[in-house]
Amino acid sequence: MNVRDSEAVAALLVAAGHEPAKGEEDAELVIVNSCTVRQKAENKAIGKAGYLCAMKRKGESALKAVGLMGCAVARLGEEELKKQLPGLDFCIRPGHLNEIPYLAAGADTLGAHPERCGFSAFVTVMTGCDNCCSYCIVPKVRGHELSRPFADIVREVECLAHRGVKEVTLLGQSVLKWREGETSFPMLLRRLAEIDGIERIRFTSAHPKGCTDELVSAYRDCPKICRHLHLPVQSGSDRVLKEMGRRYTRDEYLAAVKKLRDFDPEFSLTTDVIVGYPGESEADFEATRTLMDEAGFDNAFVFKYSPRPGTRSAALEDDVPTAEKERRDQVLLSDQERRGLERNRRLVGTVREVLVEGPSKRNRHRLSGRDGGNRIVVWDAGETKAETGSVVRVKILEAHPQILLGKVV
């Protein structure tokens, strides 16, 4: 979502007559987009803005203005941030992106339609969150859930397809809850799958309650809908899930997993997990470990609990010591390495349809892309002239925990 917002702001600035800088060194204006979901994320953004403000004050670079946007602005407020960051020129609250051209020096026009060209694009379908998970600051900084109108979403995706976009990722904090009257999220998916030029439809994030038969039948009928779901579980302990206010039990979560894997055993599932939630015992943690094995996640993001002021869980004692959080984090990551490798090994010998993203970051002689399951697939560039944004068929020869190696067939 933040990547999407940054792109929208960049487009607004370009429409207002600004030009993208080559890099931070020759920029006259830098806007830092902040996240506040964990304290570490917030510190990183504010630290970066502080560094830029200091650069500006020294006057040794081209930098003339520094702005801050994103959820840290909603949490801390402009007054507090300007106190913490001498030299900060402006702040933009979430949902007020349109103010940017006014705030940025030299801006004169408004009204650009934010867009991202290339072969892949993000499309916001829902904003806000009504879930109130005990640890989460998002509902406070992003407000209530709101579904964007069906017609607006269809128009935007048609417009993107027209510009050559092949893959869209629909964004919402709880995207499966999107609704317009009688029209459900799976019905929206079916409509978007009819749009010529769009080859892949993804969406994030999901809640197990949204994994309905209606969703599965949309997957079955529409090959364009990628068989991958990011389904944050947060914990495998019923006691912790209840405290978190996640509104599902371990068994309900696993039933959603089973439904998707019964439909397609290679269905790719990724998740988020929090370790060290207040009162998380060794037994709770073990329950998370066994759940992760039972679910057989293809990938997992592990977060150490970070109390966010103003959330319900901030009133609880943050009683799992930092070293213990660190240990649990490492245990889950090494479990996931093993599990990712096992899951990927099953794909050796199969042919994957891969959307080409470009040269591999680690090895320039290789090309890299993603299969429908969002798995990274890499192959030798010498063998093919596959263009960025095209789909190639790659036979998998070698599996690694986070990557598949293959050759184009």
From the CB of 213, what's the least distance to ligand SF4, in Å?
22
Which residue intervals of 223-349 are DSSP H helices?
A: 238-244, 250-263, 282-295, 322-345
Q: Which two tokens stand for residue 349?
A: 């010998």
Q: Is the dihedral of CA 170, 173, 174, 180 positive or negative?
A: negative
Q: x/- string (CB under 6 A) for ligand SF4, residues 107-146?
A: ----------------------x-xxx--x-xx-------
Backbone phi and psi for residue 160, each to the nearest 5 degrees, phi listed first:
-65, -45
Q: Which does 173 bind (CB under 5 to 8 A by kind): ligand 5AD, ligand SF4, none?
A: ligand SF4
* Measured distance CA(233)–CA(241) in Å, rounded: 9
Could you please report the per-residue DSSP string of 9-23? HHHHHHHTT----SS
Residue 173 in the binding site for ligand SF4 (CB under 6 A)? yes
Return the number of the residue (276 or 406) whose C-beta is nearest ligand 5AD. 276
* Measured distance CA(394)–CA(32) in Å, rounded: 38
In this structure, the strands spanning 228-230 and 268-275 are parallel
Q: Quick one: which H or E segment has residue 133? A: none
In this structure, the strands spanning 183-184 and 403-408 are unpaired
Q: x/- string (CB under 6 A) for ligand 5AD, residues 120-159?
A: ---------------xx-----------------------
* Measured distance CA(229)–CA(6) in Å, rounded: 24
Residue 174 in the binding site for ligand SF4 (CB under 6 A)? yes
Q: Quick one: which H or E segment has residue 201? A: strand 200-204
Q: Which two tokens stand for residue 79?
A: 């007054």
Burial class of residue 22 (count of CB atoms within 10 Å of its CB; 0-12, 13-18, 19+): exposed
Q: x/- string (CB under 6 A) for ligand 5AD, residues 264-293?
A: --------x-x-------------------
- Which of 21, 37, 112, 187 touches ligand 5AD (CB under 6 A)? 37
Return the number of the residue (252 or 318) whose C-beta is nearest ligand 5AD. 318
Q: Which does 376 bind (CB under 5 to 8 A by kind): ligand 5AD, ligand SF4, none?
A: none
The count of chain residues that interact with ligand 5AD, using the rule CB under 6 A, is 12
* Measured distance CA(390)–CA(392) in Å, rounded: 7
Return the number of the residue (208 or 406) whose C-beta is nearest ligand SF4. 208
From the CB of 303, what's the least distance to ligand SF4, in Å?
10
Q: Which does 215 bind (CB under 5 to 8 A by kind): ligand 5AD, ligand SF4, none?
A: none
Question: CA-CA-CA-CA torsion for 133, 136, 142, 146, nearest 10 degrees?
Answer: -20
- Which of 18, 33, 38, 129 touches ligand 5AD (CB under 6 A)? 38
From the CB of 137, what's the least distance to ligand 5AD, in Å?
7
* Measured distance CA(287)–CA(305) in Å, rounded: 17
Q: Which residues contact 223 (CB under 8 A, 6 or more apart)?
A: none
Residue 253 in the binding site for ligand 5AD (CB under 6 A)? no
* Measured distance CA(280)–CA(152) in Å, rounded: 44
Return the number of the residue (324 or 380) whose C-beta is nearest ligand 5AD. 324
From the CB of 131, what's the least distance to ligand SF4, in Å?
4
Q: x/- string (CB under 6 A) for ligand 5AD, residues 300-339?
A: ---x-xx-x-------------------------------
Which parts of this chain interact with ligand 5AD (CB under 6 A)?
Answer: 37-38, 135-136, 232, 234, 272, 274, 303, 305-306, 308
Which parts of this chain interact with ligand SF4 (CB under 6 A)?
Answer: 129, 131-133, 136, 138-139, 173-174
